[in-house]
Amino acid sequence: MDVLSDVVAFMRTGRPRSALVAWHAPWAQEFGAVPGAAGLQIILRGSCWLIRPGEAPVPLAAGDVVFRPHGDGHTLADSPSPPAVAPACAPDELPDVPRFHASVPEDAGPPATVTLCGGYELDRALSHPLLEDLPELVHLPAHLGRHPELRSTVDLLATELERPRLGTDAIVPALLDTLLLHILRAWLDRRPLPGATGWAAALNDPATTAALQAMHRDPARPWTVAALAAEAGLSRAPFARRFTALLGRPPLTYLTWWRMATAARLLQESDAPLHAVAARVGYTSEFAFAGAFKRRYGIAPGRYRRAG
Residue 95 has pLDDT above 70, yes or no: no
Distances (CA, A) of 293 to 16, 69, 128: 29, 27, 16
Residue 20 has pLDDT above 70, yes or no: yes
| Rounded percentage of the chain residues whose pLDDT exceeds 70 | 91
pLDDT band at 271 (very low <50, low <70, confident <90, very high): very high
Does residue 185 contact residue 4 with C-beta atoms inside 8 Å?
yes
Residue ranges covered by each domain of the chain: 3-188, 199-307
- CA gap 100, 212 in Å, rounded: 43
- The least confident of 63-67, 161-165, 234-238 is 161-165
- Please determine whether the domains at 3-188 and 199-307 fall in the same fold group of CATH: no
Residues 192-250 have pLDDT tens digits of: 777 889 999 999 999 999 999 999 999 999 999 999 999 999 999 999 999 999 999 99
Q: Does domain 199-307 have CATH number 1.10.10.60?
A: yes
Parallel, antiparallel or unpaired: strands 12-23 and 47-51 = unpaired
What mean pLDDT, rounded, does the chain reach? 88
Q: What is the mean pLDDT of residues 278-300?
A: 95
Residue 47 has pLDDT above 70, yes or no: yes
What local confidence, expressed as pLDDT, does residue 96 receive?
Answer: 46
- Classify domain 3-188 at the CATH class level: mainly beta
Chain centroid to CA 222: 29
Residues 105-129 have pLDDT tens digits of: 556 667 789 999 998 888 777 778 9
Residue 94 has pLDDT above 80, yes or no: no
What local confidence, expressed as pLDDT, does residue 124 receive?
Answer: 74
Residue 99 has pLDDT above 60, yes or no: no
- The least confident of 34-43, 53-62, 281-290 is 34-43
What local confidence, expressed as pLDDT, does residue 198 receive?
Answer: 92
Residue 69 DSSP SS3: coil
User: What is the maximum span of the chain, computed from C-alpha positions, in angstroms?
Assistant: 72
What local confidence, expressed as pLDDT, does residue 290 receive?
Answer: 96
